[in-house]
């Protein structure tokens, strides 16, 4: 963070956030604090908080708060997402900071591996004495392309775990914040705690207003916007999806998601050798589960090599011959 950014923000109202990695690890950290004459929140991994010298300097700074990022209180989960073994050190640092009288806010990015343990993570933070917690959607544009599906939490699957975790936090008297989620995806008990953000330009459902941030473009590119469409009869008559036997499965599946975006009444699978794709049974099964009617315009010969179970799972598909 350039020093000029802090200088230009000195006269701004409210609280200043020093962000951008672990600010406590910067060699000019003390200089940054000396330039700020109002309440400040410092972003940190939490690991440096285990140092008595660091804690002493932080306690000597009035109006200072700390913000720590934690994917999960489960070390196995957090460390896998972060790519480094740090969860235990972060939790120890948070405990030391809270014990030292510092205000610690823990930000929990909503990653897929951490969703089922979300309430347990909040319980751990409550036991450590944390008084403020935030839940935010992961910004997939900052995630490597080959990890987006693994880390991106599906919006419609968040409601129950998020409601349970939020209820646990509110029962314990924690301050709760939510950001980056469409309003229609936020549980009712947590809607009063959604932070106001600039009007989003992402995809929105029909019921959301311009104040809703919507689904980010990176999310739509990865998973589509099907979750925001509530029409049971579909928004389009037909959609075509074509692939060849040699195509990459991920590329085909990405097009499948996009084809299903508008909930077509009929999904047509095209390509003479589409069923010869090594992953055709799984792709066709996903199509049959998502679309009211699937018509296969492809050579059926490869299905003779499928197992009985694979053929049974796609039995609702209508075989209409080749696409020629």
Query: What are phi and psi for residue 196, nearest 5 degrees?
Result: -70, 135
What's the domain count of the chain? 2
Summarize pLDDT for 167-184 with one digit per residue, the tens: 999 999 999 999 888 877
Percent of the chain with pLDDT over 90: 42
pTM of the model: 0.66
Summarize pLDDT for 13-25 with one digit per residue, the tens: 566 777 766 777 7
On whether both 235 and 268 belong to a single domain, the answer is yes
On whether both 203 and 302 belong to a single domain, the answer is no
Q: Is residue 25 part of a domain?
A: no
The most distant pair of C-alpha atoms in the chain lies apart, rounded to whole Å, by 77
For residue 103, give the nearest of 53, 52, 165, 40 by alpha carbon. Answer: 40
Q: Is residue 49 part of a domain?
A: yes
On whether both 93 and 207 belong to a single domain, the answer is yes
On whether both 114 and 255 belong to a single domain, the answer is no
The secondary structure of residue 44, as a DSSP letter, is E
On whether both 219 and 237 belong to a single domain, the answer is no
Domain boundary among 203, 223, 243: 223
Q: Is residue 35 part of a domain?
A: no
On whether both 236 and 218 belong to a single domain, the answer is no
For residue 20, give the nearest of 37, 35, 8, 6 by alpha carbon. Answer: 6
Cβ atoms < 10 Å from Cβ of 66:
23
Average pLDDT, the chain: 83
On whether both 272 and 161 belong to a single domain, the answer is no
Range of the domain at 129: 45-223
The secondary structure of residue 234, as a DSSP letter, is -
Q: Is residue 121 part of a domain?
A: yes
Q: Is residue 15 part of a domain?
A: no
Q: Is residue 300 part of a domain?
A: yes
On whether both 50 and 164 belong to a single domain, the answer is yes
Query: What are phi and psi for residue 55, nearest 5 degrees?
Result: -60, -40
The highest-confidence range among 14-28, 108-122, 134-148, 227-241, by mean pLDDT, is 108-122
On whether both 212 and 239 belong to a single domain, the answer is no
Q: Is residue 36 part of a domain?
A: no
Helix, strand, or coil (residue 148): helix
Residue 271 has pLDDT above 50, yes or no: yes
Domain boundary among 165, 191, 223: 223
On whether both 161 and 94 belong to a single domain, the answer is yes
Domain boundary among 223, 246, 271: 223
Question: What confidence category does residue 8 fall into, taking pLDDT thresholds of 50, 70 and 90?
Answer: very low
Q: Is residue 14 part of a domain?
A: no
On whether both 177 and 258 belong to a single domain, the answer is no
On whether both 83 and 167 belong to a single domain, the answer is yes
The CATH number linked to 310 is: 3.30.750
Please report the pLDDT score of residue 127 as a whole number.
96
């Amino acid at each position: 963070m350039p020093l000029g950014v802090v200088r230009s923000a000195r006269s701004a109202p409210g609280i200043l956030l020093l962000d951008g990695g672990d600010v406590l690890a910067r060699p000019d950290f003390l200089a940054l604090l000396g330039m700020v004459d109002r309440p400040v929140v410092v972003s940190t991994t939490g690991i440096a908080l285990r140092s008595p010298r660091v804690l002493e300097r932080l306690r000597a700074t009035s109006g200072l708060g700390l913000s720590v990022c934690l994917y999960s209180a489960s070390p196995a989960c957090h460390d896998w997402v972060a790519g480094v073994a740090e969860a235990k050190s972060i939790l120890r640092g948070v405990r030391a900071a809270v014990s030292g009288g510092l205000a610690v806010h823990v930000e929990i990015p909503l990653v897929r591996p951490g969703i089922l343990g979300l309430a347990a993570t909040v319980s751990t933070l409550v036991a450590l004495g944390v008084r403020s917690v935030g839940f935010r959607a992961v910004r997939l544009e900052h995630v490597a392309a080959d990890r987006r599906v693994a880390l991106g939490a599906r919006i419609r699957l968040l409601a129950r775990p998020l409601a349970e975790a939020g209820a646990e936090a509110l029962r314990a008297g924690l301050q709760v914040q939510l950001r980056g989620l469409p309003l229609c995806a936020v549980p009712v008990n947590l809607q009063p705690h959604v932070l106001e953000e600039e009007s989003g330009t992402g995809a929105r459902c029909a019921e959301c207003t311009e104040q809703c941030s919507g689904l980010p473009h990176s999310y739509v590119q990865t998973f589509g916007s099907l979750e925001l469409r509530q029409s049971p009869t579909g928004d389009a008559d037909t959609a075509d999806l074509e692939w060849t036997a040699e195509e990459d499965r991920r590329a085909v599946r990405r097009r499948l998601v996009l084809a299903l975006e508008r909930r077509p009444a009929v999904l047509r699978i095209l390509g003479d050798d589409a069923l010869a794709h090594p992953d055709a049974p799984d792709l066709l099964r996903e199509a049959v589960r998502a679309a009211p009617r699937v018509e296969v315009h492809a050579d059926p010969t490869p299905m003779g090599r499928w197992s009985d179970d694979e053929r049974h799972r796609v039995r609702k598909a209508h075989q209409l011959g080749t696409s020629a």
